[in-house]
């Protein structure tokens, strides 16, 4: 049973216990609330949270803005699925896993491709120099995150079956420690963690995602919120676009603001920031088709339990 299944079971049991009473307020659409889920690594959202511009824009509409931090995309999607948040930012793989688990969300916007912002590294003293040498090796990744697709695509491009490697599912902090100790052979990771492990630990980049995966990032919305509060979402995307434009023009200043929040050296954050585009566009047919390719591949590999149609996660 997945986390999504467990949370839905909890909510269903709660509803039964209350004998038809309404679900908790946090689990329902609320027209005067806008709840955003974010990750510390999501720099543009973090900066928008810090500058307070979105709160000011939403106040005349009578909308209260709240921010909810999540450790990674899969957990954020879980929050979206159970109604704890209305809007969030994740990589390309989490929506596929979530839709296959029955989550009801819609794709709202995407960041143009940023393939240099994720990669596969080995330890400083590792003898591994090529992708071909990964056969039989232990490779860490955050399960269900954007690097899950990157690793699958990397192996496929090099004629290596997923069964030919040993995936080790670890969160970034644990994966970094495992790479330092030598208990894993390689790590598939994204920025700013990628920039940090290279600069601070001397990890060697075997390859980034350039030519392998698009590495799109997506803004997703709870379906009912997307239907009824298009005004709030439009304002959010406008402010995110402005913040992204500022980051592109002022990467050093952005990194300095993010350093105490992300707990990394500003020079490392700046290096990671330059790997992202910070340019956001409305969802289009091409990017949804690319998501369908990921979904079909994951189903063939039995990484998701059923076939899905990614277009179903669009507003009608």
pLDDT digits (tens, 9 = 90+) for 37-57: 998 888 899 999 999 999 999
26 close to 83: Cβ distance less than 8 angstroms: yes
Residue 208 and residue 303: Cα distance in Å, rounded?
Answer: 23
Closest CA to 73 of 276, 217, 238: 217
| Rg of the chain, C-alpha, whole Å | 20
Domain positions in the chain: 25-113+217-313, 115-208
Q: Burial of 185 by CB count in 10 Å (0-12 exposed, 13-18 middle, 19+ buried)?
A: buried
pLDDT recorded at residue 26: 60
Burial state string for 204-240 with b = 16 or more CB within 10 A and e = fewer than 16 = bebbbbeebbbbbbbbbbbbebbeebeebbebbbebb
Share of the chain above pLDDT 70, in %: 91
Burial state string for 64-87 with b = 16 or more CB within 10 A and e = fewer than 16 = ebebeebebbbbbbbbbbbbbbbb
189 close to 121: Cβ distance less than 8 angstroms: yes
On the question of pLDDT at 225 being above 60, the answer is yes
pLDDT recorded at residue 24: 58
314 close to 226: Cβ distance less than 8 angstroms: no
171 close to 142: Cβ distance less than 8 angstroms: yes
Let me know if the fold of 25-113+217-313 is the same as that of 115-208. yes
Tell me: the pLDDT tens digits for 65-98?
Answer: 999 999 888 889 999 999 999 999 999 999 999 9
On the question of pLDDT at 29 being above 90, the answer is no
> Could you tell me the pTM of the whole model?
0.87
Q: What is the mean pLDDT of the chain?
A: 90
The length of the chain is 316
146 close to 89: Cβ distance less than 8 angstroms: no
Report the run of H or E that residue 118 belongs to, with start and end. Answer: strand 118-122
Q: Burial of 3 by CB count in 10 Å (0-12 exposed, 13-18 middle, 19+ buried)?
A: middle
**CATH number of this structure's domain 25-113+217-313:** 3.40.190.10
pLDDT recorded at residue 1: 41
Report the run of H or E that residue 222 belongs to, with start and end. Answer: strand 217-222
**Confidence tier at 8 by pLDDT (50, 70, 90):** very low
218 close to 90: Cβ distance less than 8 angstroms: yes
Q: Burial of 174 by CB count in 10 Å (0-12 exposed, 13-18 middle, 19+ buried)?
A: middle
**CATH number of this structure's domain 115-208:** 3.40.190.10
Phi, psi (5° rounding) for residue 111? Answer: -90, 135
Closest CA to 48 of 238, 252, 293: 238
């Amino acid at each position: 049973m997945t986390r999504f299944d467990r949370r839905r079971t909890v909510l269903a049991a709660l509803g039964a216990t209350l004998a038809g009473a309404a679900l908790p307020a946090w689990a329902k659409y609320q027209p005067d609330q806008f709840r955003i889920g974010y990750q510390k690594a999501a720099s543009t959202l973090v900066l928008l949270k810090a500058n307070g511009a979105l709160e000011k824009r939403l106040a005349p509409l009578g909308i209260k803005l709240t921010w909810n931090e999540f450790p990674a995309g899969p957990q954020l999607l879980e929050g979206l699925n159970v109604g704890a948040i209305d809007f969030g930012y994740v990589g390309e793989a989490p929506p596929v896993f979530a839709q296959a688990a029955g989550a009801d969300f819609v794709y709202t916007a995407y960041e143009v491709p940023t393939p240099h912002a994720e990669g596969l590294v080995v330890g400083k003293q590792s003898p591994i120099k090529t992708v071909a040498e990964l056969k039989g090796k232990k490779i860490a990744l955050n399960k269900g995150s954007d690097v899950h697709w990157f690793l699958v695509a990397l192996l496929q491009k090099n004629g290596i079956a997923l069964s030919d490697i040993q995936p080790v599912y670890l969160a970034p902090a644990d994966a970094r420690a495992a790479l330092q100790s030598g208990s894993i052979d390689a790590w598939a990771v994204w920025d700013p963690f990628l920039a940090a492990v290279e600069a601070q630990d001397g990890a060697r980049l075997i390859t980034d995602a350039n030519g392998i995966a698009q590495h799109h990032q997506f803004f997703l919305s709870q379906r009912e919120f997307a239907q009824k509060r298009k005004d709030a979402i439009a304002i959010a995307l406008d402010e995110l676009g402005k913040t992204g434009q500022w980051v592109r023009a002022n990467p050093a200043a952005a990194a300095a603001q993010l350093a105490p929040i992300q707990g990394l050296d500003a020079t490392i954050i700046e290096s990671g920031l330059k790997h992202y585009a910070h340019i956001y566009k409305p969802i289009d047919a091409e990017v949804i088709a690319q998501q369908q390719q990921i979904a079909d591949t994951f189903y063939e590999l039995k990484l998701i339990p059923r076939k899905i149609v990614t277009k179903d996660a669009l507003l009608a």
